[in-house]
Amino acid sequence: MSGYLELAGVGKTFGNVIALRDVSLDVPLGSVTCVLGDNGAGKSTLIKILSGVYQPDEGAYRIDGTEVRLSSPREAMDRGIATVFQDLAPQPLMPIWRAFFLGNEIARAGGRLDIRRQKQEVTAQLASMGINVRDVDQLVGTLSGGERQAVAIARAIYFGARILILDEPTSALGVKQAGVVLRYITAAKRSGVGVVFITHNPHHAYLVGDTFSLLNRGRLIASYERDSLVLDDLVREMAGGAELETLTHELRGMDDVRGMDE
C-alpha cells in the first residue's frame, strides 16, 4: 500500500557528482520511517528534495498519489510537508509564543496582532503534546536543545503538517534530551502524522521506528520492517554488514599471523 508521501527512483546530480541515485521511499501517515546513513551517505540531499529546497533530476515525487514538483519549502508546507532542520535556530531572544507564530501571526480585524489568542493557542498546542514550559513568554534561548526540537515539532503539527521530516534531531543532544525528542516523535505518530526520521544513530531509530531504510553513497541499499530485525542487526548493517564481517576476518587473520611470528 502506498504512503502519503512517495519517492520513486529519485536521483540528483551536481555536475559530475551523483548525490542520489534511484532512491525510493514510502511514508505512510501515522508511522515513523527512519532513514539511516553516515556522513556522505546523501542524507542532506534527500532532506532538501523532500522539503522542496532541491528538485530531483529524475524519478517521481508524489503526495497523496499525485506527482508534484515542489519549488520551495513554503510550497511543501502548503502541501502538508514540514521539515525541522538539524541547524534549527529559532530566534533565541523571542518569547516562545512569538517564535511559534513567526511568519504566521494571528491578527485582529483591525490588523493588530492578537497576542492573547496566540499565547492561548501555543499553550494549548504544547499541552496537547505533553510539552511543559514554565511560561510561553519564556525566551526561546532559555530552552534546552531537546525542548527547542519539541516546540518545533509541535509548531509543524499545529500548522497542518501531514508529513514531518526531522533532520538529525537528536545528534547534538545528551541522553536525557534525546529521550525528550524521541517521546515527541512518538506523540506526532500517534496524532496521525507520518514522520521521516533521518539519523545516523541506529539506537535512537530503533526506539521509535516502524520501517528502516539504509542510505549509503546516495543509494538506498536495504529496507526493513520493524518486525523483521532486531537492534543488533540494524547496528551491524549500519556498520557495514558483510563488509564489516570481511574486515573482521582479515584482522583476525593478521592477528593469527602475528601470533605465528612471535
C-alpha to C-alpha distances, 77 to 24, 32, 83, 96, 98, nearest whole angstrom: 21, 19, 8, 21, 19
Residues 143-166: pLDDT tens digits? 888 888 888 899 999 999 999 999
CB 207 within 8 Å of CB 170: no
C-alpha to C-alpha distances, 250 to 174, 236, 239, 254, nearest whole angstrom: 35, 17, 16, 6
Q: Domain-by-domain residue ranges, the chain?
A: 5-229, 231-262
* pTM (two decimals): 0.85
As a CATH number, domain 5-229 is 3.40.50.300
C-alpha cell at 219: 543509494
What is the mean predicted confidence (pLDDT) over 13-35? 95
C-alpha cell at 238: 549500519
Residues 89-146: pLDDT tens digits? 557 889 999 999 988 899 988 888 999 999 999 999 988 888 888 899 999 888 888 8
Query: Helix, strand, coil % (nearest 5) of the chain?
Result: 40, 25, 35
C-alpha cell at 13: 546530480
Separation between Cα atoms, residue 122 and residue 115, nearest integer Å: 11
Phi, psi of 184, deg, nearest 5: -80, -25
pLDDT at 98: 94
